[in-house]
Amino acid sequence: MTDRSTGQSPDKTRIGHELFRLFRPFLPMSLFSTVMGVVAGLTTAWLLATINDGLHAPDGITGKTVVTFVVLCAVTLAGNAISGVGNSVIGQKIIAALRKDISARIVCAPIAEVERYRVHRLLATLNSDVDTVSAVTFNFPGFMVAVAIALGCVVYMLLLSPLLFLIALAAILIGLGINHYASLRWDFHYRGVRGAQDELQKQYRAITEGAKELRLNRARRQRVYGEQLSGAADLISELKSRAMRLYYAANAIGSMLLFVVIGLILLLQSTLGVDSRAVSGFVIVLLYIRGPIEMIAGGLPTLIQARVSFQRIAELTSQFRSQEPRLIDGPAPGEPVFPAMQRLALRGATHVFPAAGDSAPFQLGPINLEIRRDETLFIVGENGCGKTTLIKTLLSLYTPAQGELLVDGRPVPAEQLDDFRQQFSTVFSDYHLFDDLVGSDAQTLTRAQAYLEQLGLAHKVSIVDRAFSTVDLSAGQRKRLALVHAYLENRPWMVLDEWAADQDPTFRRYFYQEMLPDFKRQGKTLIVISHDDRYFGLADRVVRLHQGRIIEEASGSTFAYEANVDASVSAPVE
């Protein structure tokens, strides 16, 4: 399984390492449960031997046989129960650990990597792949017991009659060959299924998030539903049907082979000179072993699906490697508070987006920019010129490919990057609106209600159980709710990315003429991305970007936006 962005496949060593890392905390209990399952399986074979011996005992069933039978039944029952319960509990703990581990890696991963991986692929891993691995952990105890029973029965048949065992061995080897071929084809089909599931998740998002656009565009609606979504669903159905046809064919051939062996044994009993005890023992074992063999065969497709899914999970975990593991753990006790910033600067900083399709790579920078505390800075420029990329680099959400991020003239140490980011409140243009509040104290709830009133939302939204009563609002009103979170954070630096773009003219004017000056009076440093040229004069300084480079910098009172910039003569401002 290769990654579309890197073209690399996770090697078996890495996959094995990931498996061991997940199993290691539960290894002692898992080994104990598995051993009990194996004991139950071997005891079952012993139980069959006891039954066969009892049928052919010249003196009938003795008290010793009865005691042996009861003890073996008890051991089998206890072993199956311990194995099933133990491995099921462990399996669910491992799945919970896997879900938390993947989520932690996403939380800690470089933002650029998360954006490149795509949301629909992440959701497919978090849902489909984890659920597939979960199914294996649920079925694993029964699978191991079936393997143990099969092995115990094979050993019993070998001890019972080596000659008859050779006949059974021939059938076993033929069955193994058929299942090996089938497993190779299952693996091929399920890899195709897993790729189609990514596309299906993508189209699920399209029909939910793009419902309005699809309702208004018949051609697009027919393409998304009739071709892309239905095509992915049909491909999954076809590939799974092929795999299942192989499974049932292999299973039917396996069952037929068992009955062929039984028929040959009965037919050749006299010719081979085998006593009736051995013949009846083989018949009993072969009839009984059919169930465990079918369970093993039935578990193979699930195991193959799980292997494909775990390869995807290992691929994700290898890509999402963060240098900031403390993002989950938080600061250590007694760690010093990050000092108040006086100056934030980029020196020769660049960030490069790789080429997508036939388009050329986009590079931000080199950027040389310094922002002073208490300043109101507007960042302006045409769409796609790199404004949001610039602020993500300023916030250390993107790591500069070249150059440095400086606070008060010094680089920010890697172990302090999270503390550095806590100095900023942000509302991005592609923000995510959280419906709950982080704080639960009375003062926070009172402030939140006051901000709802200030932003003209109190008639629609209230605070209930530490959360907004609704987020089903217009785009502009949702953006005001996002600003409530920024208000409550009360951090010294604020970054607002085209916040006023969705506001009505009255509230847009209120934002620029009332809210921004009020933030400034509170001592906040403001970094504002804006297209509203009528309000550029409210900024202390305006920086203009064009094609990823700063081409103009002036005070807000003197800045004049001129369209149709000639890129050939544009030069970065040093």
Within-domain flag for 332:
no
Query: Between these two residues, 332 and 49, which has the higher pLDDT value?
Result: 49
pLDDT of residue 210: 84
| For range 208-223, the mean pLDDT | 84
Q: Could you report the per-residue pLDDT of 165-191, keeping only the tens digit for each?
A: 888 888 888 887 887 788 788 788 888
Q: Which of 276, 275, 285 is nearest to 154 (CA)?
A: 285
Name the DSSP class of 436. B
Both 252 and 300 in a single domain?
yes
Tens of pLDDT along 126-164? Answer: 877 887 787 777 677 777 778 888 888 888 888 888 888
What residue numbers bound the domain in which 401 lies?
343-433+471-569
The verdict on residue 561 lying in a domain is yes
Band of the pLDDT at 515, cuts 50, 70, 90?
very high
Pair (281, 371) in one structural domain: no
Do 380 and 303 share a structural domain?
Answer: no
Residues 237 and 366 in one domain: no
Over the stretch 23-46, which tens digit does the pLDDT of each residue have? 777 778 878 887 888 888 788 888
314 or 362: whose pLDDT is higher?
362
Of the two residues 184 and 406, the one the predictor is more confident about is 406
Q: What is the CATH number of the domain that holds 387?
A: 3.40.50.300
231 and 380 part of one domain? no
What's the structural domain count of the chain?
A: 2
- Kindly state whether residue 560 falls inside one of the protein's structural domains: yes
Question: Is residue 190 domain-shared with residue 276, that is, in the same domain?
Answer: yes
Report if residue 444 sits inside a domain: no
Per-residue model confidence as pLDDT tens digits over 91-113: 778 788 888 888 888 888 888 88
Residues 396 and 534 in one domain: yes
Q: Residue 566 has what pLDDT?
A: 55
Q: pLDDT of 339-369, one tens digit each?
A: 899 999 999 999 998 877 677 789 998 999 9
pLDDT for residue 552: 93
Judge whether 542 lies within some domain: yes
What's the CATH code of the domain at 204?
Answer: 1.20.1560.10
Question: Is residue 429 included in any domain, yes or no?
Answer: yes
Same domain, 128 and 224: yes
Shared domain check, 134 and 96: yes
User: Do residues 403 and 547 both lie within one domain?
Assistant: yes
Domain boundary, last residue among 290, 322, 354: 322
Domain contains 574: no
- Do residues 193 and 149 share a domain? yes
Tokens of 3: 């990654």
Residue 239 resides in a domain: yes
Question: Percent of the chain beyond pLDDT 70?
Answer: 92
- Summarize the confidence of residues 242-256 as an average pLDDT: 82
Residues 381 and 284 in one domain: no
Contact 364, 390 (CB under 8 A): yes
Mean pLDDT over 209-229 rounds to: 85
Strands 343-353 and 493-497: unpaired
Q: What is the pLDDT of residues 284-301, one digit of tens each?
A: 888 888 778 777 777 777
**% pLDDT > 90, the chain:** 31
Integer angstrom CA distances of residue 176 from 179, 254, 259, 261, 555: 5, 9, 16, 15, 79
Give pLDDT, residue 539. Answer: 95
What CA–CA distance (Å, rounded) separates 64 from 237?
56
